[in-house]
Amino acid sequence: MVILNTSSSLVDILRQRRQRLAQLIDFPAILWSGSSNPRNFAANVYPFRANSHFLYFAGLPLPNAAIRLEAGKLELFMDDPQPSSALWHGEMPKREEIAQMIGANAAKPIAELEFLVADAATIAVQDAATWTKQSQLLNRWILPQNPPQGIDLELAKAVVSLRLTHDEGALAELRKAAVVSVEAHKAGMAATPKAKREAEVRGAMEGVIIAHNMTTSYNSIVTVHGEVLHNEQYHHPLQPGDLILADVGAETEMGWAADITRTWPVSGKFSSTQRDIYDVVLAAHDACIAKISPGVEYGDIHLLAATVIAEGLVDLGILQGNAQDLVELDAHALFFPHGIGHLLGLDVHDMEDLGDLAGYEEGRKRSDRFGLGYLRLNRPLRPGMLVTIEPGFYQVPAILNDAKQSSKYHNVVNWERLSQFVDVRGIRIEDDVLVTTDGSEVLTAALPNKADAVEELIG
Q: Scanning residues 251 to 310, which ones bind its own copies (CB under 8 A)?
A: 253
- Pick the binder of its own copies from 24, 128, 422, 446 (CB under 8 A): 128
Q: Using the rule CB under 8 A, is 136 a contact of its own copies?
A: no
Other beta carbons within 10 Å of 289: 18
Q: How far apart are CA 169 and CA 379, in angstroms?
A: 24
Helix and strand numbers, DSSP H then E, in the chain: 15, 17
Which of the ranges 10-18, 198-206, 377-385, 405-413 carries the binding residues for its own copies, by CB under 8 A?
198-206
- Chain positions 370 to 409 lying near its own copies, rule: CB under 8 A, are 396-399
Which of the ranges 32-40, 265-273, 286-294, 364-372 carries the binding residues for its own copies, by CB under 8 A?
32-40
- Pick the binder of its own copies from 24, 71, 106, 211 (CB under 8 A): 211
- Chain positions 216 to 245 lying near its own copies, rule: CB under 8 A, are 218-219, 225, 227-235
Min dist CB 376 to its own copies, Å, is 10
**108/185 with CB nearer its own copies:** 185
Distance of alpha carbon 385 from the chain centroid: 13
DSSP string, 246-269: EEE-EE-TT--B--EEEEEETTSS
3-state secondary structure of 74: strand
Selection from 259, 262, 264, 263 nearest residue 209 by Cα = 259
CB 271 within 8 A of CB 265: yes
- Pick the binder of its own copies from 49, 68, 176, 285 (CB under 8 A): 49
CA–CA distances in Å: residue 232 to residues 240, 349, 393: 21, 17, 19
Min dist CB 54 to its own copies, Å, is 10
Kind and range of the H or E element at 89?
helix 85-89
Q: How far apart are CA 107 and CA 100, in angstroms?
A: 9
- Pick the binder of its own copies from 7, 213, 411, 419 (CB under 8 A): 213
**175/349 with CB nearer its own copies:** 349
- Pick the binder of its own copies from 25, 209, 327, 389 (CB under 8 A): 209
Give the number of C-alpha atoms closer than 13 A to the C-alpha of residue 33, restricted to the C-beta side: 24
**131/270 with CB nearer its own copies:** 131
**184/323 with CB nearer its own copies:** 184
CB 19 within 8 A of CB 105: no
3-state secondary structure of 68: strand
Strand partners, 77: 66, 108
**106/128 with CB nearer its own copies:** 128
Q: Positive or negative, the Cα torsion across 129, 132, 134, 137?
A: negative
Min dist CB 352 to its own copies, Å, is 4
* Residue type at position 153: L
**28/249 with CB nearer its own copies:** 249
Q: Is 15 left (phi over 0), alpha (psi -120 to 50) or beta?
A: alpha
Min dist CB 439 to its own copies, Å, is 30
**265/345 with CB nearer its own copies:** 345
Other beta carbons within 10 Å of 419: 10
Q: Using the rule CB under 8 A, is 145 a contact of its own copies?
A: yes
- Pick the binder of its own copies from 6, 16, 22, 45 (CB under 8 A): 45
Q: How many residues bind its own copies (CB under 8 A)?
A: 71
Quick note: the x/- pattern for its own copies over 66-85, rule CB under 8 A, is -----------------xx-
Q: Using the rule CB under 8 A, is 360 a contact of its own copies?
A: no
Strand partners, 69: 29, 74
**33/444 with CB nearer its own copies:** 33
Q: Using the rule CB under 8 A, is 38 a contact of its own copies?
A: yes
- Pick the binder of its own copies from 6, 16, 105, 126 (CB under 8 A): 126
CB 435 within 8 A of CB 382: yes
Q: Using the rule CB under 8 A, is 89 a contact of its own copies?
A: yes
